[in-house]
Structure formats: structure tokens, C-alpha cells
Amino acid sequence: PKLVESQVIGGIIRGVSYAIYEDRIMDAASGHQLNANVDQYKMVGSRETPAIEVLLMEQIGAQSSTDARGIAEASNVATSAAIANAFYNATGKRIRTLPMNPANVLATLSA
């Protein structure tokens, strides 16, 4: 259970990072990524990571012939939608651009 919990937490952290911070900047002329290193490509850090409580539910029955199941994928995918829906619930405006950085938030609020 601890390994599963850690996988879910990692997936949520990646989802938060993707939703709010990560923005791949490309050079239109060359097609090269302009922020291709860890100094320039912004990702969520430990200071920005929220407290995360994981609730696990037992699932009975095999999902595959090996009884293997995906864990972190579900938490990663759902996080951006959860953050966008929280923004909508707070403001009444749908943000449809990732990342949900200050510039995109302000553009959505002023539209």
C-alpha cells in the first residue's frame, strides 16, 4: 500500500506541474525547444507541492492476465481537469489553456 500511495502522490505532483508550470517553448523557425534544460523548463518544486491525502480502495478481480494494474496514470491525468474545474468554481470562467500560469489566468479572467 505504501508503494501504491507514493505512486499516486507522484502522479498528482506531475499533474500539478503539467497544469500550472510546464510550458515547452519552441522556436518556430528551427523547431528546436528553447527551454530544453532543467534551468529553463519550469516544474513544480517541493515548496509548491500541496499536502496530498491518498485514499485507496480495494479492488477485487484481475484486470489482466497478470493481475497488473496502472496506478499513477489516473492521478496524473485527472489533476489538470480538477484544477481547471476549481478555477471555474471560483471564478465562473473556464480556463482552456495550459499551463494555467498567471498570464493565461489573467487572459481568461479579462475575456
Residue 33 sits at φ, ψ, to 5 deg, of -80, 130
pTM, rounded to two decimals: 0.80
Q: Which long-range contacts (CB under 8 A, 24 or more apart) does 87-91 make?
A: none
Three-state DSSP class for residue 33: strand
Write out the catalytic residue numbers.
73
What is residue 26's three-state secondary structure?
strand
Place of cell 496524473: 76
Q: Please provide the CATH number assigned to the domain covering 2-110.
A: 3.30.365.10
Model confidence over 16-51: pLDDT tens digits? 999 999 999 999 999 999 999 988 998 998 898 989
Q: What is the pLDDT of residues 56-84, one digit of tens each?
A: 887 766 667 777 777 777 888 889 999 99
Q: What are the domain boundaries of the chain?
A: 2-110
Contact residues for 76 (Cβ-Cβ < 8 A; gap 6+): 11, 12, 14, 15, 18
The answer to whether 15 and 75 are in contact (CB under 8 A) is yes
